[in-house]
Structure 1
């Protein structure tokens, strides 16, 4: 019997592997994955830390069609998470923020179950949330840093 948590993590592992494969031979230190699954909207994106510098997907994968394919495949993976949660009667997170350390293989993730995009008072686009997170990481405010991020799990 396959355990829900194992399937859930396998899908996330696939998203990390997708991002790493897209980066190719680049010297990736950290892979960040972002997923928004809310209402009828599903959105995936990724960014990287390379040589101490934060770089977006299009900086690492300059081929636009390949970058769009990565985003589409990641979004498909999020759809699989939504389906898995529905089939197993589990709450599906509205947001996933993952941080994978290539040197150690360590993965930290934060799940949100509250409305973010569809919040009637404060709703913002997944792209805005993603860009803000990437900016925060770039300025040294990495809320998933293994050095002790509250609300994260390994």
Structure 2
């Protein structure tokens, strides 16, 4: 029988997997942002490709000459985000089922080359109590932080 941890890990792996599919398994690192606060679910993802930190719509900017282009059609981006949000909903249901605290924020990092996986969780409200910030602002800030630290 699968444990809570097994099922929780499988849902996180699914988020990483769909993001890897988006770039045809061609990325150095995948970053997934998942948030749920006050009933609002939000997701985001970005990449490190050829030592460049790029948002999902900019992945072709990181390619070398001759590399096969990525399909960055908005429809594909929306599909990935939909699956991430569905996985967040499933994690929420899983946490309820096992009477566990649901993280308000998950930052998932998968290093493709080494196979390393890191996850950071927050359980406190991140943006709900902020008059200005939204989940998108927090995800953008994380992207900028990773971009700064990777250079």
Contact 2:53-2:150 within 8 A present in 1 as well: no
- Between structure 1 and structure 2, the one with the greater Rg is 2
3-state SS in 1 of match to 2:125 = coil
**Cα deviation digits, residues 16-41 of structure 1 (max 9, x gap):** 00100011153x10000100011210
3-state SS in 2 of match to 1:139 = helix
Cα distance, 1:124 vs. partner?
Answer: 2.1
Judging by fraction of residues, say which structure has more helix. 2
Quickly say closer, same or farther: Cα 1:11–1:23, change in 2 above 3 A.
same
Distance 2:23 2:118 in 1: 20
Q: TM-score normalized by structure 2?
A: 0.87
Distance 1:123 1:93 in 2: 21
Could you list the structure 1 runs, at least 4 aligned residues long, displaced by more than 6 angstroms after superposition: none
Contact 2:8-2:94 within 8 A present in 1 as well: yes
Contact 1:116-1:122 within 8 A present in 2 as well: no
Q: Which runs of 5+ in 2 are unaligned?
A: 60-70
Distance 1:25 1:84 in 2: 28
Quickly say closer, same or farther: Cα 1:36–1:123, change in 2 above 3 A.
farther
Q: TM-score normalized by structure 1?
A: 0.86
Cα distance, 1:117 vs. partner?
Answer: 2.2
Contact 2:127-2:134 within 8 A present in 1 as well: yes
Matched, 1:85 2:95: yes
Distance 2:123 2:131 in 1: 15
RMSD, aligned α-carbons: 1.6
- Within 5 Å, give how 1:122-137 maps onto structure 2: 124-137=133-146
Bigger relative contact order, structure 1 or 2 (CA pairs below 8 A, ≥6 apart): 2
Matched, 1:97 2:107: yes
Distance 1:108 1:65 in 2: 28
Quickly say closer, same or farther: Cα 1:86–1:73, change in 2 above 3 A.
same
Aligned residue pairs, count: 140
